[in-house]
Amino acid sequence: MHPDVDITVIWNFATALLIGALLGIERERHKTEHDELTIGGLRTFILFTLIGALGGWLTLVLQSPWVLAVALLGALAPVLAGYVISARTQPDALGLTTELAAIAACLLGAMTTLGYRDLAVGLGVAVAALLAYKQPLHLIVRKLDREDIYAGLRLLIATFIILPLLPDRPVDPWGALNPRSLWMLVLLISSLSLVGYVATRLLGAHRGIPLTGVTGGLVSSTAVTLAFARQSRDAAYASAGAALASGILLAWTVMFVRVLVMVLVVNRALLPPLAVPFAAMAVVTLAIAWLLGGRRGTRSQTEGVPLKNPFSLTAAAKFAAFFALVLLVVKIVQAYAPDRGVYVVAALAGTTDVDAITLSMAQYAKTGVAAIAVKAITIATLTNTVVKTAMVSALASSSLKKPIVLASVAVLATGAVALLLG
């Protein structure tokens, strides 16, 4: 049965031509700037994607995969001929980038007519970006050393080999310790350390550290605090205390906002009373982070100093063990001492994470007392702030301890006042 030539088919071919034009424009620009003799230009790449699209469409019409195979072989012939000519005329400028891009263009064209148009568009944009950002990519590679590569490999091993082997179920009688969840926490802390290191290498401390703080705070402000506290002891960050403190406080600010968003999603009625203490704490934290981030000298604090990769599974695993211990204590208290009240449980839960108690209290407030839920969430947040401050005091350098302790006092005072007034 032959497919009809309708608007969908026309749109598929148009998409293939646009992908070819996108890749061809980039290759045309590259050829003009470098005065290279290559096979690829705007018209050539459009024809490559058209050949692939025709091969894919005719494969559906004739119900024969050999049509597409012949089309691909036909496109491969001029690619090989062009490479041979380039090798003879410009032996010092040999490369396979344009040739491989041409083959990819042909395959992307085939995808548009074989039912994978959206995927072909995404991959086409990715290929165009890969071609266009040649210099930045080469710069990144030149900045990597052997230890950076080893660190990345260790993270990949821990993520794709060790993680799947761990059981995804509680292994203790109280249902608190899930090995896979705990190992994911290890990966999170290690990844944040690695991301902060890479961002600092590429952007400098004045931009890389705050960016890592904001993005890391979306996942875990505790992990950001631990990662930056460990980094502050590195000689490369000896004078970057203000930048690291700013990054930590930005992560805390994101945590306060994240709590409000979770409550908005789960129980909107609880948001107005909770917004007062959390908005106040967020404003105070953000103001201090802005003051620290704007200090003079931050821009050049790590310039000229060799940065050491902070990636450490061992350090992250130690924190995960501590996290597991506190989780176990919280579960035991909930199981054997429920009469201590929701506030005690909130304080214990806040030592490791705020999200769990926030979601629990938001659900509780639907049928219980809203004021109790607000106080429990605030207590958990204040406890979490105390724990993170203790981490900094125990693990960080002196240049980081002072601003974080002072900021913590301000945040705790703000939260306590709001709690008492509420």
| The pLDDT value given to residue 16 | 93
Q: Do 116 and 171 reside in the same domain of the chain?
A: no
139 falls within a domain: no
Q: Measure the CA dihedral 143/144/147/149, to 10°.
A: 170
Percent over 70 (pLDDT), the chain:
82
Mean pLDDT of 80-108: 76
Q: Using alpha carbons only, what angle is made at residue 126 by residues 7 and 30, rounded to the nearest 5 degrees?
A: 105
Q: Do 191 and 61 reside in the same domain of the chain?
A: no
| The pLDDT value given to residue 17 | 94
User: Residue 49: which residues within 8 A CB-CB, separation 6 or more?
Assistant: 16, 17, 19, 20, 23, 105, 106, 108, 109, 112
Q: Do 366 and 403 reside in the same domain of the chain?
A: yes
Lowest mean pLDDT of 109-123, 200-214, 232-246, name the range. 200-214
In the chain, how many domains are there?
Answer: 2
42 falls within a domain: yes
Q: Do 213 and 91 reside in the same domain of the chain?
A: no
Q: Do 328 and 240 reside in the same domain of the chain?
A: yes
Q: Do 322 and 385 reside in the same domain of the chain?
A: yes
420 confidence band (pLDDT: 50, 70, 90): confident
| The pLDDT value given to residue 12 | 92
List own/partner pairs for 341-349 with CB under 8 A and 24 or more apart: 342/372, 342/376, 343/375, 343/376, 343/379, 345/376, 346/376, 346/377, 346/379, 346/380, 346/383, 347/379, 347/380, 347/383, 348/383, 349/380
352 falls within a domain: yes
106 confidence band (pLDDT: 50, 70, 90): very high
Lowest mean pLDDT of 71-85, 89-103, 352-366, 401-415, name the range. 89-103
User: Residue 282: which residues within 8 A CB-CB, separation 6 or more?
Assistant: 253, 256, 257
- Position 102 pLDDT exceeds 90: no
Lowest mean pLDDT of 14-18, 178-182, 301-305, 390-394, name the range. 301-305
Whose tokens are 């639907």? That residue is 366
Q: Do 241 and 276 reside in the same domain of the chain?
A: yes
280, 228, 276, 278: which is closest to 251 by C-alpha?
228
353 confidence band (pLDDT: 50, 70, 90): confident
Q: Decide which of 132, 165, 189 is a domain's last residue.
A: 132
Lowest mean pLDDT of 14-18, 32-36, 211-215, 261-265, name the range. 32-36
pLDDT digits (tens, 9 = 90+) for 280-328: 999 999 999 988 876 544 444 444 334 556 566 776 677 677 667 766 7
Q: Do 116 and 166 reside in the same domain of the chain?
A: no
Q: What residues make up the domain containing 56?
A: 7-132
310 falls within a domain: yes
User: Residue 123: which residues within 8 A CB-CB, separation 6 or more?
Assistant: 104, 108, 111
287 falls within a domain: yes
- Position 1 pLDDT exceeds 60: no
Q: Do 71 and 17 reside in the same domain of the chain?
A: yes
Q: Do 109 and 169 reside in the same domain of the chain?
A: no
pLDDT digits (tens, 9 = 90+) for 266-286: 789 999 989 988 999 999 999
Residue 298 has a CB neighbour count (10 Å cut-off) of 22
Q: Decide which of 132, 159, 191 is a domain's last residue.
A: 132
Q: Do 267 and 401 reside in the same domain of the chain?
A: yes
Spatial distance between the Cα atoms of 307 and 14, rounded to a whole number of angstroms: 49
pLDDT digits (tens, 9 = 90+) for 170-195: 888 877 788 888 888 778 767 766 77
141 falls within a domain: no
User: If you compute the radius of gyration of the chain from its CA atoms, what whole number of angstroms results?
Assistant: 28
| The pLDDT value given to residue 192 | 64
Q: Where are the alpha helices (DSSP H) in 90-178?
A: 97-113, 117-132, 134-143, 146-157, 163-165
378 falls within a domain: yes
262 falls within a domain: yes
Q: Decide which of 132, 158, 187 is a domain's last residue.
A: 132
pLDDT digits (tens, 9 = 90+) for 150-174: 878 888 888 898 889 999 998 888 7
Q: Do 188 and 98 reside in the same domain of the chain?
A: no
